[in-house]
């Protein structure tokens, strides 16, 4: 648990270093799959003041099991992702400029280049509009549900496309652990910026050839990956 806390702490502290957050607008969590316990940032605490001891531990029902502080107001969304995406070990939520732009525009992020293909095997989807009832009911839980629904209905593998754009809100990213989830959040921000620019320059562009998408994604992922050491 102490290792997980340290990893979640470092990933939270990396948010301002990668220019993904203004004030306290972002949070990272990690899960220990054996115990089913989740470590998450406390709500509204500044990154520069954050210590491992401030982190909050909740279970897969979202109930606090350890910690002095209140967990992130987005905790139920994180929990819903861990309950449904069984292989993920870390979740990141931010309001980073470019990913939030695509979420506010309510557009899927298409795979326009190999930078995208190296990390996301196809478009990063944007969720549907939440209904008034969903917003009124249990908002953060429903936010998680609509993400899961998006991946299920559109038959997208969350391990191959480890990010989503929540309509009118912003991005969530995930990965094997908190540090890989953070990395995906950084990549998402960069490819959102480049896709925005690409469309401004040439509005006729659309998704990469499937062959090139596959080539790049599996150059970096899976058994035949040959990128890195």
Q: Which of 17, 33, 129, 160 binds its own copies (CB under 8 A)?
A: 129
Q: Which of 45, 55, 181, 182 binds its own copies (CB under 8 A)?
A: 45
Contact 75, 40 (CB under 8 A): yes
Sheet holding 90-94, edge to edge: 64-66, 56-58, 37-40, 26-32, 90-94, 170-175, 163-166
Question: Can residue 106 be called a binding residue for its own copies (CB under 8 A)?
Answer: yes
Q: Report angle CA 200, 203, 208 to the nearest 5 degrees.
A: 110
Q: Which is nearer to its own copies, 10 or 97 (CB)?
A: 97
Contact mark string toward its own copies, 4..43, x via CB under 8 A: ------------------xx-x----------------xx
The catalytic position among 74, 82, 108, 118 is 118
Contact mark string toward its own copies, 154..193, x via CB under 8 A: --------------xxx------------x--xx--x--x
The 10 Å Cβ neighbour count of residue 148 is 17
Cα separation of 98 and 27, whole Å? 17
Using alpha carbons, select from 100, 108, 114 the residue that is nearest to residue 127. 108
Contact 43, 70 (CB under 8 A): yes
Active site residues: 118, 227
Give the interface with its own copies as residue ranges (CB under 8 A): 22-23, 25, 42-45, 69-70, 73, 95, 97-98, 100-107, 112-115, 129-130, 132, 135-136, 139, 168-170, 183, 186-187, 190, 193-202, 205, 208-209, 211-212, 215, 219, 226-229
């Amino acid at each position: 648990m102490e290792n997980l806390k340290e990893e979640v702490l470092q990933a939270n502290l990396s948010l301002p270093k990668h220019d993904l957050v203004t004030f306290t607008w972002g949070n990272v969590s990690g899960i220990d799959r054996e115990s089913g316990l989740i470590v998450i940032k406390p709500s509204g605490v500044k990154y520069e003041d954050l210590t491992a001891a401030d982190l909050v531990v909740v279970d897969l029902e979202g109930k606090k099991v350890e910690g002095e502080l209140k967990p992130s107001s987005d905790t139920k969304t994180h929990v819903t992702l861990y309950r449904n995406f069984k292989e993920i070990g870390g979740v990141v939520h931010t309001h980073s400029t470019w990913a939030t732009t695509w979420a506010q525009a309510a557009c899927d992020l298409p795979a326009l280049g190999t930078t995208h293909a190296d990390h996301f095997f196809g478009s990063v989807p944007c969720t549907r509009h939440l209904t008034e009832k969903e917003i009124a009911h249990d908002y953060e839980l429903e936010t998680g549900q609509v993400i899961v629904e998006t991946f299920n209905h559109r038959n997208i593998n969350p391990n191959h496309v480890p990010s989503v754009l929540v309509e009118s809100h912003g991005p969530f990213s995930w990965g094997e652990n908190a540090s890989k989830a953070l990395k995906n959040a950084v990549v998402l921000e960069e490819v959102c910026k480049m896709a925005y620019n690409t469309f401004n320059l040439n509005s006729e562009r659309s998704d990469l050839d499937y062959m090139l998408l596959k080539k790049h994604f599996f150059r970096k992922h899976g058994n035949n990956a040959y990128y890195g050491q």
